Amino acid sequence: DTAVSQTPKYLVTQMGNDKSIKCEQNLGHDTMYWYKQDSKKFLKIMFSYNNKELIINETVPNRFSPKSPDKAHLNLHINSLELGDSAVYFCASSRRQGVTDTQYFGPGTRLTVL
Amino acid sequence: DQQVKQNSPSLSVQEGRISILNCDYTNSMFDYFLWYKKYPAEGPTFLISISSIKDKNEDGRFTVFLNKSAKHLSLHIVPSQPGDSAVYFCAAKRDTGTASKLTFGTGTRLQVTL
């Protein structure tokens, strides 16, 4: 009965490969997010989808492409992986409640690019 | 440009004492502030929040104080327990209209000793 789940938890791959990370939430939320936590522990937003529509797109290389097949899922596809993509990627979701819009996070996917 | 700062990377407190974690921000457009707790290999877990129109919010052992004029907030944990040992992230929200954009600090590692 995990609220926000991600697969895989660990991902080790070679430079140049294409990989995907999946995220699902069973909270009935309408907004989902992808965050990247780099080696300096900064947690920075990458994308946000609301009802399957892209609403936040930070300065992220276009090798990263989010896909939202429905409100409960937001997947992240990464093309031509580079060493600098190594990080922990967190998915999150929220339901808009006026000002109080609390985001709930998944367990993270640790991506290592060799 | 780091808009949310947690200047203490670590803090050690004895069990039963008060833990005070601090956070400073620079953007006056932030309207909502949150604290997240993170254990190793897990995602951030929502702890407590405060709206910018309030100066205090209390939930059990956790109290968050907001000083808007100083652009400063703090999390008080009393009494501290060993299970509170974790990394604590301060986050500030700015409303984009359809989604909340969270900006995180770099975290403070709290160690509660026996």
pLDDT digits (tens, 9 = 90+) for B15-61: 999 999 999 999 999 999 999 999 998 999 999 999 999 999 999 99
Burial code (b: 16+ CB inside 10 Å, e: under 16) for B23-32 equals bbbeeeebeb
* Cα→Cα distances B32→A75, B37, B94, B95, B104, Å: 27, 17, 7, 9, 12
* Cβ pair A51, A30 in contact under 8 A: yes
pLDDT(A112) > 90: yes
Determine the distance in angstroms separating the CA of B77 from the nearest CA of chain A, rounded to an integer. 21
Identity of the residue numbered B113: T
* Cβ pair A44, A92 in contact under 8 A: no
Tell me the pLDDT tens digit for each residue of A15-35: 999 999 999 999 999 889 999
Q: What is the pLDDT of residue A39?
A: 80
Q: What is the pLDDT of residue B53?
A: 93
Check CB contact under 8 Å for B101 and A99. no
Burial class (CB in 10 A: 0-12, 13-18, 19+), A96: middle
Interface test with B, best of A4, A38, A93, A100 (most B CBs within 10 A): A100
Beta-strand pair A4-7/A53-57: unpaired
**Token pair of A46 as six digits:** 């990458």
Interface test with B, best of A101, A104, A109 (most B CBs within 10 A): A101
Across chain A, mean pLDDT equals: 90
Separation of alpha carbons B111 and B80, rounded Å: 10
